[in-house]
């Protein structure tokens, strides 16, 4: 492709494809570059039994709507990839697969050079849609784990059968950690689960999928400024099962051994904080608060909904070791694998544009519109609201970023 493109979009996941759809509808010349296949992250960084936490009726791309027979069902990993592939085909989106971007630099004339392994493209605007959850984070203690224990990240986990025989220690009790711990336990593996203070969301409440209530209540539209902590950190997404409610107590009831937060390692021995009961209580209180907000919304709007009933996963008594396990010998416990579910950030080192990244080497932007003119970021976790970083944000995000690009092109 010769000449100067109006836009180069980097990444063909839901975020990049949503932007591409908006650009095509606006008549903006562009190309989408994808390092692997369409939806590569969903293909290669999700486990085999992965299901979406968001119901099918809301798992839709810009311009689409759900008309199936299972609106509150959970889409599988492979179904989602198929949906993205169909979206590209139906909308004739200009996706170039197998082309990894190695560098983005200014061209000295209000545009950018976009280099791949095989060519260089020139663009007036660049949309980085590679996501902010592609580089696993592990605590420093991981570097001192003995070599006989295999360490993997949540993005590397595929199934229980793919792991070596032995017990597994899952570290991190957010969405991925809880779902992986359950997947392993369901497969009959011995699981130790290092927990922390993270909220919890039921799968269903008062006759509906909870995410539908969250969207209707406006809780997913809460602005980032309202929930960011004084330290600048953002609380992790609550533990939520895709097919059913998952709680720390329900995991313990099926044999998962609950531990506190990982504190340190000395040789073969890991030490943990004695905070398991506190972590269970924190998640319980978080869930109860959310239920009250939904109840208030139902009452304020005079909505006819079934009465609240107890969720078995929430009321089952927790089986907490007494006294709490604060020391664990990895060898004598038979632990062969540790799965780190301790979060991700984005690798944007290849975006070599002044002011595009902050001191932390993460995107500098407001609502996806970069501090560097003509650079945009799509699909970032918690970029603007609670729904940012999920497909729930794709329509709003595409409208905002594409609208800004069109206005900028009109000024060049």
* Boundary (domain end) residue, out of 316, 340, 364: 340
Please give the residue range of the domain that contains residue 59.
4-134+346-411
pLDDT at 106: 97
CA angle 155, 72, 184 (to 5 degrees): 35
Tell me which DSSP letter residue 61 carries: -
Among 164-173, 222-231, 250-259, 385-394, where is mean pLDDT lowest? 222-231
pLDDT at 236: 82
Q: What is the DSSP string of 222-233?
A: -BHHHH--TTS-
Residue 246: pLDDT band with limits 50, 70, 90: very high
- Judge if 358 and 271 occupy the same domain: no
Average per-residue pLDDT for the chain: 96
- Judge if 225 and 365 occupy the same domain: no
Q: What is the DSSP string of 263-307?
A: EEEETTEEEE-S-HHHHHHHHHHHHHHHHHHHHHHHHHTT---PP
- Judge if 156 and 273 occupy the same domain: yes
User: Domain of 365: which CATH number?
Assistant: 3.50.50.60
- Judge if 180 and 303 occupy the same domain: yes
- Judge if 358 and 333 occupy the same domain: no
Q: Quote the CA–CA distance of 79 and 391 in Å, as a whole number.
A: 14
Predicted structure pTM score: 0.94
Pairing of strands 135-136, 112-116: unpaired
pLDDT at 2: 53
Q: What is the DSSP string of 99-143?
A: --EEEEEE-SSSSEEEEESS-EEEEEEEEE-S-S--EE---GGGG
Instruction: For the chain, give the percent of residues with pLDDT over 70.
Output: 100
- Judge if 129 and 231 occupy the same domain: no
Q: What is the DSSP string of 243-265?
A: SS---HHHHHHTTPEEE--EEEE
> What does the pLDDT look like over 305-364, one tens digit per residue?
999 999 999 999 999 999 999 999 999 999 999 999 999 889 999 999 999 999 999 999
- Judge if 266 and 336 occupy the same domain: yes
- Judge if 354 and 318 occupy the same domain: no
Q: Quote the CA–CA distance of 412 and 410 in Å, as a whole number.
A: 6
Residue keyed to tokens 């975020």 = 15
Q: Does residue 207 carry a pLDDT above 70?
A: yes
- Judge if 311 and 226 occupy the same domain: yes
- Judge if 144 and 241 occupy the same domain: yes
Quick one: tokens of 39? 């939806």
- Judge if 297 and 377 occupy the same domain: no
- Judge if 372 and 257 occupy the same domain: no
> Which residues, at least 6 apart from 281, have a Cβ–Cβ distance to it below 8 Å?
none
Tell me which DSSP letter residue 384 carries: S
* Boundary (domain end) residue, out of 340, 360, 378: 340
Instruction: For the chain, give the percent of residues with pLDDT over 90.
Output: 93
Whether 135 and 345 have beta carbons less than 8 Å apart is answered as: yes
Q: Quote the CA–CA distance of 26 and 342 in Å, as a whole number.
A: 40
Q: What is the count of structural domains for the chain?
A: 2
pLDDT at 317: 96
* Boundary (domain end) residue, out of 340, 364, 384: 340
């Amino acid at each position: 492709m010769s000449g100067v493109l109006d836009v180069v979009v980097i990444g063909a996941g839901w975020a990049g494809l949503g932007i591409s759809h908006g650009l095509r509808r606006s008549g903006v010349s562009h190309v989408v570059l994808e390092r692997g296949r369409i939806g590569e992250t969903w293909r290669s960084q999700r486990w085999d039994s992965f299901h979406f936490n968001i119901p099918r009726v809301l798992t839709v791309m810009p311009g689409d709507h759900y008309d199936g027979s299972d609106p509150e069902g959970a889409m599988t990993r492979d179904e989602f990839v198929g949906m993205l592939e169909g979206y590209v085909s139906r909308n004739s989106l200009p996706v170039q697969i197998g082309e990894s971007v190695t560098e983005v630099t200014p061209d000295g004339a209000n545009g950018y050079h976009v280099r791949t392994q095989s060519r260089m493209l020139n663009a007036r605007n660049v949309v980085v849609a590679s996501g902010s959850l592609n580089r696993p984070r592990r605590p420093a203690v991981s570097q001192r784990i003995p070599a006989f224990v295999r360490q993997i990240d949540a993005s590397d986990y595929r199934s229980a059968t793919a792991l070596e025989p032995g017990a597994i220690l899952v570290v991190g009790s957010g969405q991925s950690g809880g779902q992986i711990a359950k997947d392993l336990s369901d497969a009959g593996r011995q699981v130790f689960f290092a927990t922390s203070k993270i909220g919890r969301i039921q799968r269903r409440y008062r006759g509906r999928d909870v995410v539908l209530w969250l969207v209707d209540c406006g809780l997913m539209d809460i602005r980032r400024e309202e929930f960011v902590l004084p330290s600048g950190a953002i609380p992790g997404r609550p533990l939520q099962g895709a097919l059913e409610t998952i709680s720390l107590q329900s995991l313990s009831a099926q044999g998962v051994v609950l531990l506190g937060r990982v504190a340190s390692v000395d040789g073969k021995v890991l030490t943990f904080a004695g905070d398991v009961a506190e972590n269970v209580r924190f998640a319980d209180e978080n869930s109860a608060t959310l239920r009250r907000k939904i109840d208030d919304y139902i009452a304020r709007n005079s909505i006819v909904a079934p009465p609240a009933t107890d969720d078995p996963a929430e009321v089952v008594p927790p089986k907490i070791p007494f006294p709490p396990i604060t020391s664990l010998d990895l060898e004598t416990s038979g632990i062969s694998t540790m799965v780190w579910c301790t979060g991700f950030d984005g690798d944007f080192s290849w975006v070599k544009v002044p002011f595009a990244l902050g001191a932390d080497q993460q995107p500098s932007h407001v609502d996806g519109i970069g501090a560097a003119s003509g650079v945009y970021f799509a699909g970032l976790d918690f970029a603007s609201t609670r729904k940012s970083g999920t497909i729930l944000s794709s329509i709003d995000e595409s409208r905002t970023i594409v609208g800004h690009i069109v206005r900028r092109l009109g000024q060049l």
